[in-house]
Amino acid sequence: MHVIRDWRHVPERWRGAVAAIGNFDGVHRGHQALIGRAMERAAGRPAGAVVFEPHPVEYFKPDAPSFRLTPFDAKARLLSARGLDVLFALRFDQELATMSAENFVRDVLRGGLGLAAVVVGADFQFGKGRKGNLDLLRREGEALGLGVECVDPVILKDDAKVSSTLIREALKNGRPRDAARDLGHWWTVEGHVTRGDQRGRTIGFPTANLALKGTIEPALGVYAVRVTVEDEAGAKTYDGVANFGRRPTFDKKDVLLEVHLFDFAGDLYGKRIAVAFVEFVRPERKFDGLESLKTQIAADCEAARTILAATTLP
C-alpha cells in the first residue's frame, strides 16, 4: 500500500482512485464495510482511504489524554491488510482545520487528490466547524463529477452500532473480548521492548516491558494475551499473560505493560512486539511480598493458559 501525505502532489498513477474517508480509529467492522465497498466500486481503479493525521481531536485538544485505538503506523498496517492500494494521510493543520466544506470537496478531494468517487458513513462531517455533511458532499460532488456513496452502519445483534467510542468504553471497562467483537480483530498494542527493573527474572517470570504511548489505556489489571515477536527470521506468536498497571507492590506510579511469554527462551530487549489483548483475568492489586506475588502470578499464568487454549479469533 502506497502512502501519500501531501494532497497537492499526488502522482498521476493514484489519481482517479475510489476512496473511503474517515479517521478509521481501530479499523473496526464499520470501517471495514466502508473500505470493502470502496474496493468493490473501484473495479480496476486504485482503491484507497483518506485519513487525517494528526487526528483532529489531537489537533484541537493537544493536552487531552490519549484516546486512540490505533496510532498511525498500526492503522496503516491494518488498512494495508484489507487490500487497499493507496492511503492518503492528510496532514491536519490550520489550513485544513479552517477550510470550508465546499473548498475541501473542490480543492482537496476532487482537485488535489483527483478522486473519482468517495465512500462515507451517514454521519460523516467535515470542513470548518464540521459544517459539511452527506447532503453537501453529494451536492458538491455532483457538480464536480465526484461520485458519492453512503454505507449504512454495522449493527450488532443487540441493536448497537459498531463505533470506536463503544470499543474504547469496552477496553476501559476490562472487556477486550467485546472490543474484539466490534473490531473484528483483537485490540493490539505495539512497540519496542524496553529494559525494566528485571525483577520478574528473580521470581521465575521474566517480562517484556512496553510503555503505551499515543494509545488509549485499558483497565488496569492482568490479561491473557497473544504476543507476536518480530526479528530477522520473521514473526512468531506466543501465548502469554500481561499486567497493565502501576505495580503497587513496588510503590511504582508510572503505568507500564509487563508481558510474560509462555514457552519462550531468548532476549527480547529492543525487539518489536505486538500484544493482543484477549481476556481480562483480574484487577491489579498490591501484595504483601514477593512470595505472595509469585504465587498469584503462577495462578494468573494457569488462568491465561486455560483461556487461550479455548480461544479462537473473534
Any residues with CB less than 8 A from the CB of 201 and at least 6 apart, and which?
A: none
* Catalytic residue, candidates 258, 279, 284, 291: 258
Contact between 113 and 10 (Cβ < 8 Å): yes
Mean pLDDT for the stretch of residues 239-255: 73
Is the pLDDT score of 250 beyond 50? no
DSSP conformational letter for 194: B
Question: With pLDDT > 90 as the criterion, what percentage of the chain qualifies?
Answer: 75
**What distance lies between CA 280 and its chain's CA centroid?**
19
DSSP conformational letter for 66: P
Q: What is the pLDDT of residue 197?
A: 60
Contact between 121 and 150 (Cβ < 8 Å): yes
The chain-wide mean pLDDT, for the chain, equals 91
Residue 96: all three cell numbers together: 485544513
Q: Compute and round to an integer the Cα radius of gyration of the chain.
A: 22
The whole model's pTM is what? 0.89
Q: Return the SS3 of 26.
A: coil
pLDDT tens digits, one per residue of 131-157: 999 999 999 999 999 999 999 989 887
Contact between 219 and 172 (Cβ < 8 Å): yes
Taking residue 37's Cβ as centre, other Cβ atoms within 10 Å add up to 18
d(CA 149, CA 15): 18
What region, left, alpha or beta, does residue 239 occupy, with left being phi > 0 and alpha being psi -120 to 50 degrees? Answer: beta
Taking residue 299's Cβ as centre, other Cβ atoms within 10 Å add up to 13
- Apex CA 64: angle with CA 61 and CA 65, to 5°? 150
Is the pLDDT score of 199 beyond 70? no
Residue with cell 494495508: 80
Q: What is the pLDDT of residue 205?
A: 82
Q: Shortest CA distance to 304 belongs to which of 246, 248, 259, 256? A: 259
Mean pLDDT for the stretch of residues 64-92: 95
Is the pLDDT score of 171 beyond 80? yes
Q: What is the pLDDT of residue 224?
A: 98
Q: What is the DSSP string of 113-130?
A: S--SEEEEETT--BSGGG
Mean pLDDT for the stretch of residues 50-78: 94
Q: Identify the structural domains of the chain with CATH numbers, from first to last.
A: 2-151 (3.40.50.620), 187-309 (2.40.30.30)
Q: Return the SS3 of 187.
A: strand
Written as one letter, the residue type at 61 is K
Residue with cell 490505533: 70
Contact between 49 and 88 (Cβ < 8 Å): yes
d(CA 314, CA 42): 29
Cis before 54 (ω within 30): yes
Residue 263: all three cell numbers together: 514457552
Is the pLDDT score of 177 beyond 50? yes
258 has catalytic annotation: yes
Contact between 164 and 28 (Cβ < 8 Å): yes
Residue ranges of the alpha helices (H) in the chain? 29-42, 56-60, 72-81, 94-98, 101-103, 134-144, 164-172, 176-183, 199-202, 290-309
